[in-house]
């Protein structure tokens, strides 16, 4: 499986710092100017399998990014712009994130010992902001 690039111009065959087998962390993707193509929320098994799936087109192909064990999401999305939804910025923060800490406090003992992460995606085209608190994410190349 080809891994997403860490930086533009990364040559996996000749650059020792270019990963070929290790999975990338969320913050390792080059998000700027990638395109958000699709969003799918799966609640067919509520509380057991709550996922949010994104299709993101990076320079090296179309990827499926799946947030697994989602506990909270907020999508402030704007529509009506006739343009590809390009991503301006995206990042992940761990359990120490202020938003995650506030979420833990609001759920009291319900979430004891469950490590959660905060994910945020901001877009260029519509100025949308997508926020997710989940256990983690996976990805695979679609094309």
Q: What is the pLDDT of residue 80?
A: 83
Q: What is the pLDDT of residue 82?
A: 84
The Cα-based distances of 59 to 20, 35, 105, 130 in angstroms read 16, 9, 40, 21
pLDDT mean by block of 10 residues, the chain; 143 residues: 40 46 76 96 91 94 94 92 92 94 85 89 94 94 84
pTM, 2 dp: 0.81
Determine how many CB atoms are found less than 10 A away from the CB of residue 117. Answer: 18
Indicate the DSSP class of residue 64: E
């Amino acid at each position: 499986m080809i891994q997403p690039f860490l930086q533009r111009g990364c040559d996996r065959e000749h650059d020792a710092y270019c990963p070929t087998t290790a999975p990338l962390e969320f913050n390792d993707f080059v998000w700027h100017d990638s395109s958000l193509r699709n969003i799918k929320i799966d609640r067919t098994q509520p509380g057991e399998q709550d996922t949010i799936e994104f299709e993101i087109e990076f320079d090296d192909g179309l990827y499926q990014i799946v947030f697994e064990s989602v506990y909270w999401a907020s999508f402030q999305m704007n529509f009506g712009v006739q343009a590809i939804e390009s991503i301006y910025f995206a990042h992940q923060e761990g359990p120490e994130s202020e938003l995650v800490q506030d979420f833990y406090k609001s759920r009291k003992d319900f979430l004891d010992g469950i490590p959660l992460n905060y994910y945020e995606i901001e877009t260029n085209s519509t100025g949308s902001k997508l926020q997710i608190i989940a256990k983690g994410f996976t990805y695979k190349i679609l094309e």
